[in-house]
Structure 1
Amino acid sequence: MPILQQARGGWAKRIATSPLPFARSARSLTVNEKQIGANMTLPREIATERQISGDTKVELRVLATTDLHAHLLPFDYFTDRGSPVLGLARLSSLIASHRAAAANCLLFDNGDTFQGTPLADAALAEIVPRGDMHPMVSAMNGIGFDAATLGNHDFDFGIPYLTDTLAEARFPIVSANCENADGSDFVPRHVMLERDMVDKAGRKRTLRIGVTGCLPPQVAAWNKPHLDGALKFDDMMQTVQGQVSVLRGKGADLVIVLAHTGLGSHVAEHRAENAARAIASLDGVDAVIAGHTHRTFPGDDAAPGDGTPIVQPGAFGSHLGLIDLELTDSGADGWQVRTRACAAVPLGSGAAEVGAHGYFPDFPELVADMDRAHKATRAFVSRPLGQTAVPLETYFSTLAPCHATQVVAAAQFAAAAPLIRADETLSGRPILSAVSPFKAGGRAGPSHFTDIPPGPLMLRHAADLYIYPNMLSVLRIDANGIREWLERSASVYRQIDPNGPARQFLIDHDFAPYNFDRLAGLRYEIDVTQPPRTNAEGDVIFDTPGRIRNLRFADDRPVLPEDEALVITNSYRAAGGGHMHAAGAAEEVLSAPFAVRDAVATHMAEADQPLHPQVEPTWSLSPLGGVEVIFETGPGAAQHEDRIAALGLTGPNAPVDNATPGYDAYSLRL
């Protein structure tokens, strides 16, 4: 029985043996409607300016968050340390200041809100008693969001849990392309917000703002264990276009789309995963909030532009989306909309504090409740599991196999082995374990690494090694599929020219490290002189010779075209998540009723001695005769001198031209 049982669709019920209630009351979070959005009290100097102006224009500020992933407080529960550039709590002050500077304001959230940190796991494990509000919902109610949409990860803990979570929201949550199996609405497909605005002359004008939302239809496959047969997800472009027509027919003066999707191209294919640019091109859309890919758009110096404004405010509360619109009442033709500003405003940095105190200065009624949530979560994730004799870090995981991913590989092997043995039809095939470093820099930045020191292992460490609640899955795959899987992973590397300029950069930081799978149980080389098979996102496949060389099984037997193998992986990857098309095309032969991180925690807890995994030499970079490359990693890597020496790295070096900000640069000769 796994240590971390599923609880209301999630993990950790057995560990959560002593409930630590957050003890929040819904009444304590009641917010005067005059403090929210467009109805907030206006600064005196702004009101005076309007009284003397004869202009008939209305200026509206749209603020947005996206991909908060349960980053509520400025605290990293994985490391048990403050983090000054994370969280909705700190972002709330930026929200308040930008509201105060605007005549009229609306605030939206763009999804992937309720999953992603141990705070969400604590709520899921019934540390928060059933019926109490999710801490993120409590905070969003108090801050005064006007509307929100759903992201794909909001379904990670199952439909009943999500339904309970949404029920406490005092703001509408919409989604155009999500519906129940019978075709009925799962949440409303749109909402019409009627807000009293103040125009430039100081007069009250009532505007009807139509809001709809959408998310990638691939979520049906990514979260198949929870959603199969219960929910359907249609094409985003088609459904959004339909809802925009409905809203315009109902008299919407303005239509805003909360699009939990990346930018994509200007022309989206049917059921595209990333389509924000294409959605912005739809007739009748006045503004788009993008998300999903954790990118920031536009840049700091971007001009408003002529097209429909799009803003994508990063992730985890790193940025606040801001779109300033100017609406002119043209009489019979309705309101005409012009973009005055569009920016992703960075949160900034500062000294971190452990508790919630000081991080809701504009919403003092939230401080005590959020501090209780914080303390309860810290107690929850500090529960002991075992010991490790070696550091479990991911600073070098894209350069060589490591202890951190080996622990996950071993846990997957141990959890899947009895299931495979029980099915006679699966016998006789090599068994591989696909693992990736979930926190290894990339576009998440130079602080996004796992760094667990030798010593006690706690619940937070299991979550640090495996941050998603994906279910364990076993695939049957042929030799060609194995090779294509590895080619997709090898796209993390830039192409290196052996005769090119000195000190070429090795890692493409646009590539998400959680898509860098190594298949334990294999041996292979990666030739970085060849171009990658895919782009960083994996949505473009190039016709190239490929990078995988000398592919063989652990017993040194070559992988032949007629070979088949079983690959232990997770439900997201089994559905082709991360544009891992080879995994999506393979046959799923087993789907376990528990999450992979349950298996990781069980592996830690059941070890009879401190973990000291023997790291498999799964892969290596093909030698290039001494060509020097630059390997960039997080500043914390400098503390691992033995690892630096063993890998043949020198540095960290002085900053070099075109280096990635915040990363340390090491030299390596291939």
Structure 2
Amino acid sequence: MMGMDKRKRIIFFTVIVPIIALFCHFPVVKAEELPASTVHLRILETTDLHGNMLDYDYRKKRETIEFGLARTATLIKKARNEVQNSLLFDNGDLLVGNALGEYAVKKYKENPKYFFHPVYKIMNSLHYDAATLGNHEFNYGLDFLLDSIKGAKFPYVNANVYVDDHNDVEVDDINFFNPYVILNKQVVDTNGQTHNIKVGVIGLLTPIFYAWDIEHVRGMAKVKSLVQTAEHFVPIMKQKGADVIVVLAHSGIGADKRLKDQEGNNLFNLSKVKGIDAILFGHSHSVFPGRDDLKNRPGINNEKGTINGVAAVQAGFWGNHLGIIDLNLQHINGEWKVMDSQSEVQSIFRIINGKKKPNVNPDPEIHALMEESHLNTLMYLEESNLGFPLSP
């Protein structure tokens, strides 16, 4: 027995103890110290389409490579295929602005009960996640607007247009539209793990629409500033579980000049509202990032596409660009945080030696879906000989 105990002691000190010592050199990694996995979330934007579903110029009565959602759709599908997680939004001024839009108004007046706006043949087929309203949505009155957006198979949001209750008390104000939506987005991280992220989407509209279409909204609606509205609703969205806040702002980077409240209605100040993670904007028919006039402006990073550190993008007009924001999210201390971002705009055409060349071909599915509406629009044009001046 003593011999056996001696052999066991020899094995213990010559084999087991060195193994234990070896493992003692490796620190124990706690679960919270493991590097956080990253979720790459791509956000896509169209804006100021003004009825231009096809790459067709109704004024010149010919095809074009310079605009049209039929070509932007090719960029959308490509951008989606490059990533695992994406969302698509429209930023308003969709319903009117070209011959197709005018044809839609005509059909609405003829039979509003069974009206379906033809733009939603395309928007629904592309599976937009949400949209907001532009100022031109109000051009033909609230009935036309409300009946038109019923055709959308995605939510519309606007937070700063309210029912006019004919008093100056704010606590009883009621939103005219749904102010925001919280989307439950299933995403896959860089380790292949699946997560559910709640993406809060809020819509804001430049208050200048009220002056431009006052005959349609006087006595029925009133409007508040972009900044004031965001400061009110962003905390509410956070309280209701939104992990990421995306603002759809139908406003240019600067406030409209006719507005008295310049400070409350410019994107620069809007981007300072705590809790906003991304801003998609429009209205002024410009692009961001990439504007030369903003290169040296403090607070604006023209390379990364941020305003006061917040990711932002503006996708031109009529579908001539696709806006893209790539967010890198990590789950830290129980919250999803934006660790980095990159914004860009992709054009559907380029200029080589002074000549315009297409970057993409039109999506044949869009052409097929729009064939009947397009032919009806051409017939309408022949009958009416319309022209279509546009304001931003």
Aligned to 1:359: 362
Partner of 1:136 in structure 2?
119
Provide the residue aligned with 1:282 in structure 2: 273
SS at match of 2:107: coil
CA shift at 1:129, angstroms? 5.3
After TM superposition, list the pairs within 5 Å mapping 1:291-306 onto structure 2: 291-299=282-290, 302-304=303-305
Structure 2 Cα separation of the partners of residues 129 and 367 of structure 1: 26
Tell me the CA shift for residue 133 of structure 1: 2.0
Equivalent residue for 2:101? Answer: 120
Matches within 5 A, 1:345-356: 345-348=346-349
Contact 1:321/1:344 (CA < 8 Å) preserved in 2?
yes
Structure 2 CA distance for aligned equivalents of residues 371 and 55 of structure 1: 49
Question: Whole-Å Cα distance in 2 between the matches of residues 374 and 224 of structure 1?
Answer: 32
**TM superposition shift of 1:102:** 1.1
Question: Aligned AA for 1:262?
Answer: G
Q: CA deviation at 1:245?
A: 1.0
Mapped partners of 2:47, 2:155: distance in 1 = 16
Q: Give 1:374 shift.
A: 0.8
Which position in structure 1 is the counterpart of 2:12?
none
One-letter amino acid of the structure 1 residue matched with residue 381 of structure 2 = V
Q: Tell me, in whole angstroms, the C-alpha distance in 2 between the residues paired with 1:192 and 1:253.
A: 9
Question: What is the letter of the counterpart of residue 328 of structure 1?
Answer: Q
Alignment of 1:108-507 (within 5 A): 108-126=89-107, 130=112, 131-182=114-165, 183-264=173-254, 270=261, 274-299=265-290, 302-304=303-305, 307-332=309-334, 334-348=335-349, 359-361=362-364, 364=365, 366-383=366-383, 459-460=385-386, 463-464=387-388, 467=389
TM-score normalised by the chain length of structure 2: 0.79
Cα displacement (A) at 1:279? 1.1
* Cα separation, 2, equivalents of 1:374 and 1:74: 11
Q: TM (normalized to structure 1)? A: 0.47
Say which SS state the counterpart of residue 324 (structure 1) adopts: strand
- Measure how far apart 1:314 and its partner are: 0.8
* 8 Å contact from structure 1 (residues 262, 274) kept in 2: no
Displacement of 1:237 in angstroms is: 0.7
For 2:363, give the aligned amino acid: F
**Quick check: 2:305–2:313 contact (8 Å CA) kept in 1?**
no
Letter in 1 for 2:62: R
Structure 1 residue 298 displacement after superposition: 0.7
- Residues 228 and 264 in structure 2, CA contact (< 8 A), matched pair in contact too: no
Match of 2:197, SS state, is strand
CA distance in 1: counterparts of 2:42 and 2:54, whole angstroms: 25
Q: Identify if the C-alpha distance between structure 1 residues 304 and 159 changes in structure 2 by more than 3 Å, giving closer, same or farther.
A: closer
Post-superposition Cα deviations, 1:617-647, rounded to whole Å, max 9, x if no partner, equal xxxxxxxxxxxxxxxxxxxxxxxxxxxxxxx
- 1:270 partner letter: D
Partner of 1:80: 61
2:331 partner amino acid = D
Structure 1 residue 218 displacement after superposition? 2.0
Deviation at 1:185, TM superposition (A): 2.6
Whole-angstrom distance in 2 between the partners of 1:272 and 1:149: 22
Partner Cα distance (2:346, 2:92) in 1 = 18
**What amino acid is aligned across from residue 289 of structure 2 in structure 1?**
P
Deviations along 1:392-448, one digit per CA (max 9) or x if unpaired, are: xxxxxxxxxxxxxxxxxxxxxxxxxxxxxxxxxxxxxxxxxxxxxxxxxxxxxxxxx
Q: Percent identity?
A: 34
Query: What is the Cα deviation at residue 304 of structure 1?
Result: 4.8
Partner in structure 1 of residue 43 of structure 2 = 62
Give 1:278 deviation, angstroms: 1.4
Tell me the SS of whatever aligns to 1:382. Answer: helix
User: Which residue of structure 1 lines up, in the alignment, with residue 19 of structure 2?
Assistant: none
- Residue type matched to 1:308 in 2? V
Does the CA-based 8 Å contact 2:205-2:249 persist in structure 1? Answer: yes
Q: Do the aligned partners of 2:36 and 2:331 also contact (CA within 8 Å) in 1?
A: no
> Cα RMSD between the aligned structures?
2.4
Q: 1:341 and 1:169 mapped to 2: Cα distance?
A: 29
The Cα shift of 1:241 comes to: 1.5
Deviation at 1:296, TM superposition (A): 0.8
Q: Which runs of 5+ in 2 are unaligned?
A: 1-34, 166-172, 292-301, 351-355
Deviation at 1:272, TM superposition (A): 5.5
3-state SS, counterpart of residue 349 of structure 2:
coil
Once residues 336 and 286 of structure 1 are traced to their aligned partners in structure 2, the CA distance between those partners, rounded to angstroms, is: 9
Unaligned segments of structure 1, at least 5 residues: 1-53, 353-357, 384-457, 469-513, 515-577, 579-670
Aligned match of 1:15: none
Which has the bigger relative contact order, CA under 8 A and spacing at least 6? 2
Q: Deviations over 1:162-209 (max 9, x none)?
A: 011011111111011012223433210010000100011111100000
Pairwise CA distance, 1:242: 1.0
Which amino acid is 1:313 matched to? A
State the Cα distance separating 1:157 from its structure 2 match.
Answer: 0.9
**Letter of the aligned partner of 1:259 in structure 2?**
A
Determine the C-alpha separation between the residues in 2 that align with 1:138 and 1:102.
25
Distance 1:134 1:289, change over 3 A: same
- Residue type matched to 2:382 in 1? S
Q: Is the 8 A contact 1:156 1:223 kept in 2?
A: yes
**Does the CA-based 8 Å contact 1:217-1:273 persist in structure 2?**
no
**Partner Cα separation in structure 2 for residue 180 and residue 378 of structure 1:** 38
Please say which structure displays the higher CA radius of gyration.
2
Write the letter of the residue equivalent to 1:167. K
Deviations 1:199-249 (A, max 9, x none): 111111000000101111121111011111111111111011111111011
> Residue 230 of structure 2 aligns to which amino acid in structure 1?
V
In the aligned structure 1, how far is the partner of 2:263 from the partner of 2:218? 20
Q: Would the aligned equivalents of 1:93 and 1:360 in 2 still touch at CA under 8 Å?
A: yes
Matched letter for residue 359 of structure 1: P
1:359 Cα deviation from its structure 2 partner: 2.9
Q: Distance in 2 between matches of 1:240 and 1:459?
A: 43
Q: 1:647 aligns to what?
A: none
What letter corresponds to residue 115 of structure 1 in structure 2? V
Give the drift of 1:369.
3.0
Higher helix share: 2
1:97 maps to which of 67, 78, 81: 78
